[in-house]
Amino acid sequence: MTLGFWDEDGNTSREYNPGPHESLFGLAAGLIEEKHDSNPRIAAEHELEEECQMRGGKWYQLTERPLAMDKYDTTKIYSYLAIDPKTVENPRPLDEEEDIEIVSGVSVEEILAMIKRGQMNLVGGCACLLAIEKLRELGEI
């Protein structure tokens, strides 16, 4: 599950990715766990709070059905966009292994450049492109 959010500050995040062993820009993302009752939207709401210290806003599912990770993996990706979520004073804690930095003031052009330069993982890049398309459709950008 991936989640992008949009507000007037133009926030994204940078997180250590153990696979490539580097910090990459991206979106809040996580697994759908038992605590989410197998509901991807609940998982997305929890990740927004844990990783971005935000809650609420107007939500959009970005694809008609989940995307397959690739042809060899059974992982399904659900992508959401939350517009104008609000900061939470006492958010859910990060998972112990997570090292996430919120980066403010990032423009759409900068996000596109990050994707092109390989500074974002594939799943986050795909979700960003879907979110940008939705924001254009809604007249937000």
Query: What letter represents residue 116's amino acid?
Result: K
For residues 37-45, average pLDDT: 92
Q: Rounded to whole angstroms, how far apart are CA atoms 141 and 137?
A: 9
Is 80 exposed, middle or buried, given 0-12, 13-18 or 19+ CB atoms closer than 10 A?
A: buried
Q: Are 81 and 63 in contact (CB under 8 A)?
A: no
The encoded tokens of residue 10 equal 């133009």
pTM above 0.75? yes
pLDDT tens figures, 65-84: 999 999 999 999 999 999 99
- Residue 41 backbone dihedrals phi, psi, to 5 degrees: -65, -40
